[in-house]
Amino acid sequence: MREYAVHDATEIELRLSLAVEVQPDLARSPIETRAGGLTAAAACLRSRREELAALMTAEMGKTLASAMAEVDKCEWVCRYYAENAHAFLADEVVSTNARDSRVRFQPLGVVLAIMPWNFPLWQVFRFAAPALAAGNVGLLKHASNVPGCALAIESVFREAGFPEGCFQTLLIPAECAEALVADPRVAAVTLTGSEPAGRAVGAAAGAHLKKSVLELGGSDPFIILGDADLEAAAQTAVQARIINNGQSCIAAKRFIVTEDCADDFEDLFIGQMKALRVGDPMDPATDVGPLATEAIRAELHDQVERSAAAGARIRSGGSIPTGPGFFYPPTVLTDVPPDSPAAEEELFGPVAPVFRAADPDHALALANATDFGLGAAVWTRSASLADRFVEEVQAGSVFVNGLVASDPRLPFGGIKRSGYGRELGVFGMREFMNVKTVWIGG
């Protein structure tokens, strides 16, 4: 096992000072230069694909296949902003009584990113690509269990030709982050993580009147209505639950199915969950690898046991296997009481609670009966029902007859206790920019 030295106060100061020094030069550089750097970063990711994927699997346990796909997605986001930065950053002319009036978009400066372990590369690149394209510079405080990934990301941008200091990793404990948020040289902060972490960072940013973007937990509903294609819905439901070994904010967390198709859907869903192969994440045949830490597995199993004690039925899985590794079997719970952990808490692992709804009205009510609002999926062949759920489900994203996923072309983020602000798309780039009004008379 490799060990990494924690950056001390002197090193933190050196890196922050360098970021402040280089940011104005990056902001003044031609957009084409910054776009070229992202194109080079994409090429670097492609050439280092196997190395970076293996590093993610080793540090946090995702399957090698999903790690490969994650590198590919990071390459995509770099190319996307390289190709679109010029259009996204162009002045927007507005007709007024002035001789010339327009909106100009300018970078804020140094942005601190506090990122989680579950998607060690993607979570960072989806922030870094638009930030660097806009002329901001990044400081990364990554999760403590993925230090190799954190340093590898820094090396990618260095190899891509970005000037030294444009993107730097800080190997620091979580308690050091608040001082960085407070530092007047840090212009803004973005965090992806837990609700408690979001509250702490949001409060610190607010106390210093700094822009923040928070992407927090989710309890995403996956809604199956009676006219849905059940085969496709069940197959996608399995994917939606076990993505990243079930450790994803936008993984489906609550499966809501109307009574008129519930028996058939449950049979399909449970059968496919039981058929999943749990094992070595480096084996291409593995569907579900280990959870990231022993504590995560222990908490998940406790939630399952408390839900069962409250009346939920365990239809598959539900027990900790013997042997090494923090594995947990794909688990399905039915007849879940509304006040049980499986109904009220985020399950961060391959556990799927299924809820029955009397009709679409009841399904909609159950979908919205949560304090979270990140993503949602609804399955129906009815255009009118689809339109109603798109309009009335309380979430940052609603997918109809598909898997909820982030996409560089579309804004991503949540409402309610899932956070605020957006990443990706043009909206994500502009979160960390000064939207400046320009008015020229005479």
For residue 290, the SS3 value is: coil
- At a CB cut-off of 8 Å and minimum separation 6, what does 226 contact? 258, 260, 261
The two three-digit tokens of residue 359, written as one number: 């009709």
Bridge partner residues of 433 (DSSP): 107
- 215 belongs to the catalytic site: yes
The two three-digit tokens of residue 330, written as one number: 């794909």
- At a CB cut-off of 8 Å and minimum separation 6, what does 394 contact? 367, 368, 373, 415, 416
- 249 belongs to the catalytic site: yes
Task: Given the residues 249, 261, 346, 431, select the one marked as catalytic.
Answer: 249
Rounded to an integer, what distance in angstroms lies between the CA atom of residue 104 and that of residue 128? 21
**Pair 126, 406: CB distance under 8 Å:** yes
Rounded to an integer, what distance in angstroms lies between the CA atom of residue 138 and that of residue 113? 7
Q: How far is CA 275 from CA 57, 154, 287, in A?
A: 23, 39, 10
Q: How far is CA 91 from CA 23, 24, 344, 427, in A?
A: 21, 19, 46, 15
Task: Given the residues 59, 75, 215, 423, select the one marked as catalytic.
Answer: 215
Rounded to an integer, what distance in angstroms lies between the CA atom of residue 163 and that of residue 409? 27
**Which residues carry out catalysis?**
215, 249
